[in-house]
A and B are shown apart, each in its own frame.
Chain A
Amino acid sequence: DARVTQTPRHKVTEMGQEVTMRCQPILGHNTVFWYRQTMMQGLELLAYFRNRAPLDDSGMPKDRFSAEMPDATLATLKIQPSEPRDSAVYFCASGAPTVNTEAFFGQGTRLTVV
């Protein structure tokens, strides 16, 4: 059963620490999305990759956030240094090469920065 896998599922860290979230997209999917979900802002797009290249990362605070795809099976989202306002659930989603298809979501990483 193909699924998007995100690790860790939960992360509690202290302010100022580096946080790395990982995502394994579904095999064969060439698009990857990173979203952040909070009560106040809802579901915000942070970054969008196609064929491992970033197409849109305008929603990502560049000073502390970075997103990469070292290879087709791994996407990472890093926050350095982390701040309490980064506390949220971070979702990764992957999609097939055609635009008229849906994105499949992982279970999310719940990040708490204290």
Chain B
Amino acid sequence: AQSVTQLGSHVSVSEGALVLLRCNYSSSVPPYLFWYVQYPNQGLQLLLKYTTGATLVKGINGFEAEFKKSETSFHLTKPSAHMSDAAEYFCAVRVNYGGSQGNLIFGKGTKLSVKP
């Protein structure tokens, strides 16, 4: 079965600093990978996704992520943090295989704080 591990439940950066949120997955078949963002009292919103093709994917709000099969990772980055990036970020995986084909499994989430 697939699973997702997000390293660091809380990450704090200064405004203008690099944002790096880590995600590792476990899957026996090629995965589809997603990053979502959740602002307080709201639902989850898609930031970006990897399905096939280019391993570096760009998303909304200046975020990007790179799929590294050899490291089973899909880390999220942004060159320069903005105060409005403060939110909780979730990494998720889907696989096209098995009885629960297409199930969407999330990591525990990483809360990002941005200091002025």
A52 within 8 A of B: no
B106 within 8 A of A: yes
A70 within 8 A of B: no
Residue pair A43, B102 in contact (C-beta under 8 Å): no
Task: Return B51 CB to nearest CB of chain A, in Å.
Answer: 4
Q: Which A residues, 84 to 106, have Cβ-Cβ distances below 8 Å to chain B?
A: 91, 93, 95, 99-100, 102-106
Q: Which B residues, 98 to 116, have Cβ-Cβ distances below 8 Å to chain A?
A: 99-109
How many residues does chain A have at the interface if contact means C-beta atoms less than 8 Å apart? 23
User: Per a CB cutoff under 8 Å, which of A43, A50, A102, A108 touches B49?
Assistant: A102
Task: Output the residue of A31, A35, A99, A105 with the most chain B CB within 10 A.
Answer: A99
What is the bound-complex CA distance between A29 and B78, given in angstroms?
A: 31
User: Per a CB cutoff under 8 Å, which of B44, B49, B101 touches A91?
Assistant: B44
User: Per a CB cutoff under 8 Å, which of B34, B52, B100, B106 touches A48?
Assistant: B100
User: Per a CB cutoff under 8 Å, which of B46, B96, B106 touches A43?
Assistant: B106
Using CB atoms, name the residue of chain B closest to A35: B106
A72 within 8 A of B: no
Residue pair A106, B109 in contact (C-beta under 8 Å): no
User: Per a CB cutoff under 8 Å, which of B34, B43, B103, B106 touches A102?
Assistant: B34
Task: Output the residue of B44, B90, B102 with the most chain A CB within 10 A.
Answer: B102
Chain A, residues 29-68, CB within 8 Å of chain B (1/0): the string is 0010101000000110100101000011000000000000
Q: Given that A42-B109, A43-B106, A48-B104 are contacting pairs, would A99 and B94 also be in contact in the complex, using a CB cutoff of 8 Å?
A: yes
Set of chain A residues within 8 Å of B51, measured between Cβ atoms: 100
Residue pair A55, B43 in contact (C-beta under 8 Å): no
Chain B, residues 59-101, CB within 8 Å of chain A (1/0): the string is 0000000000000000000000000000000100011100111
Task: Return A37 CB to nearest CB of chain B, in Å.
Answer: 9
Set of chain A residues within 8 Å of B96, measured between Cβ atoms: 99-100
